[in-house]
Amino acid sequence: MMSQMKWEKLLSVKRFASSGSQSDIRSQFQRDYDRIVFSSPFRRLQDKTQVFPLPGSVFVHNRLTHSLEVASVGRSIARSVAQKINSREISGNKELINEIDSIVSAACLAHDLGNPPFGHSGEKAISSYFTEGKGSQLKASLLPEQWSDLIAFEGNANAFRILTHQFNGRRKGGFSLTYASLAAGVKYPYPSFGHEQRKKYGIFYSELETFRQIAEECGLICIDDTAKRYARHPLVYLVEAADDISYLVMDIEDAHKLGILKTEETESLLLSFFDPIDNSDALKYKSSIYNEVTDTNERIAFLRATVINLLVQQVSEIFMQHYEAIMSGSFMSNLVSQLGGHYQLALDNCRKRSVKLIYNHPEVVKIELTGFNVLGTLIDEFTDAVLHPEKTYNKKLLSLLPEQFATTADDTYQRVQSVLDFVSGMTDLYAMQLYKNLRGIT
């Protein structure tokens, strides 16, 4: 029988890089949630693109609203799972299990903290600077493991760094969250190197030792010691499902608000999640609401909420169906992909329409191109400045670098990281304004 991870360790209330325990009316995991909500990196998400350019005449999702909604969905999934675990008497600590909703919602809040400006195109822009731009000249001065991070910049790994790294003048351990909340947010528990077949990763070379400490404290199973690969914390599956459900459904709603999707098609896409037999009660309820509500956007919002509620129940069931494999670290899929039947067909249809009409929409492509130019320029200028600080222009440029990102390290990797810490944390608006300033554009 394969060894299984234990909830008593997985739900560790111990804080990373902190020995004290402060008395509070909140639980330790609720404190995690609040620390993220009141943080500057979280606030900056309000001016970071989710999919569509912002701001616009029609308010759609940005990274902040997306993260809040993911946290709400994640909390619901976790509560459903907690009830199922406790009803089956498969954990000895029901009180602790009842707190997993706070852990999951905190991890959901933080899941996009590491995303650079201009959406996912920002990640590509950073990577391209090192694979295709002037940054390619740095390869010889870096370890292969460090170079691997730069040529495939990953927002997930950057979020983990933001949460745990001690920046200049800041507290040790970053946010000093509980080990449980930190582990629950690492979707890809391995570094960039040694996993050539995997496009994503969750740990930069600089945070390897930090993650090892967290994995050890939480009792995560080490799958491959050479490749530094661990099994996921079980709650990661709930965080991932909440994100998958939210962005697939919310992007459809945003596309409708912007007139990219017609009302009839939007309704059809959302209604396809309901089986006429299995979900007959929900469809009857839909008809009664439609008789009462005539506002088109409100009708779509109602359908969206109903679909999310349906999927929350389904993925919590799937978690329990694969419970043994998840707890032993052998479950290598994600919950949403296991839905099957008409649910999977509905999700596939949403994805296809999203790719065709949303992600390749001219306005979305324009923001991606803007991101490439703006971030490419900023990284180029500030990288040259940290590597050659003696130049007159660079001295002026470095005066713009906030103290928390300033570095005196001789190590090229650390110097480049200080630039990426600065640039990736910018909002869309600040990055654009600084780009214009440096280019003399008014």
Coil, strand, or helix at residue 90? coil
Here the tokens at position 305 are 């909420």
Here the tokens at position 275 are 């089986």
Report the pLDDT value the prediction gives residue 108, as an integer from 0 to 100: 98
Q: Which residues of the chain are under the pLDDT cut of 50? A: 1, 54-58
Which residues, other chains included, contact 284 with Cβ-Cβ below 8 Å and sequence gap of 6+? none
- The Cα–Cα gap between 410 and 408 comes to 7
**How do residues 255-301 score in pLDDT, each as one tens digit?**
898 888 999 999 999 999 988 777 777 778 778 888 788 899 899 99
- The Cα–Cα gap between 183 and 165 comes to 15
Report the pLDDT value the prediction gives residue 36, as an integer from 0 to 100: 98
R_g of the chain computed on alpha carbons? 23
Residue whose pair of structure tokens reads 């950073």 in the numeric block: 126
Report the pLDDT value the prediction gives residue 322, as an integer from 0 to 100: 98
- The Cα–Cα gap between 194 and 101 comes to 33
DSSP 416: H
Report the pLDDT value the prediction gives residue 257, as an integer from 0 to 100: 87
Residue whose C-alpha is closest to residue 152's, from 205, 207, 186, 199: 199
Sequence spans of domains, the chain: 28-260+311-442
User: Within 219-359, where are the H helices?
Assistant: 236-257, 263-271, 280-292, 296-321, 323-327, 341-353
Report the pLDDT value the prediction gives residue 54, as an integer from 0 to 100: 42
- The Cα–Cα gap between 314 and 177 comes to 30
Report the topology of domain 28-260+311-442: Hypothetical protein af1432 (1.10.3210)
Per the CB < 8 A criterion, the answer to whether 240 and 326 are in contact is no
Per the CB < 8 A criterion, the answer to whether 381 and 388 are in contact is no
Q: Kindly report the CA angle at 243 between 333 and 311, in degrees rounded to 5? A: 75
